[in-house]
Amino acid sequence: MVKFIDFYADWCAPCKVMTPVIEEIRKEYEGKITLEEIDVDANQPLTNQYGVLSIPTYLILKDDQEVGRLVGVNPKARLVEVINQALA
């Protein structure tokens, strides 16, 4: 199982820029991946557990092992590339 985790905050401008991209990915990969959004302000223990220091941070897990990490504003193509590698 591939999981895509989006670490974000409501006040984060780059996170807001990425929101439409994340929604597109959610729709396009429905049933293929699990997409989880983590508010760093509301879930500090999980944020610390994954070593998230900047937001937005995107983790791609395969069988609960991290196989990809992207930080900041990224083009959709880059996110899709990492997701597809995890699905392969």
Check 2, 5, 15, 60 and give the catalytic one: 15
Is residue 72 within 8 A of residue 54, CB to CB? The reply is: yes
Q: Which of 12, 67, 70, 80 is catalytic?
A: 12
Among candidate residues 43, 42, 74, 44, the one with its CA nearest the CA of residue 56: 74
Please check whether residue 69 is in contact with residue 58, taking contact to mean a CB–CB distance below 8 angstroms: yes
Assess whether 12 carries a catalytic annotation.
Answer: yes
* Residues labelled catalytic: 12, 15
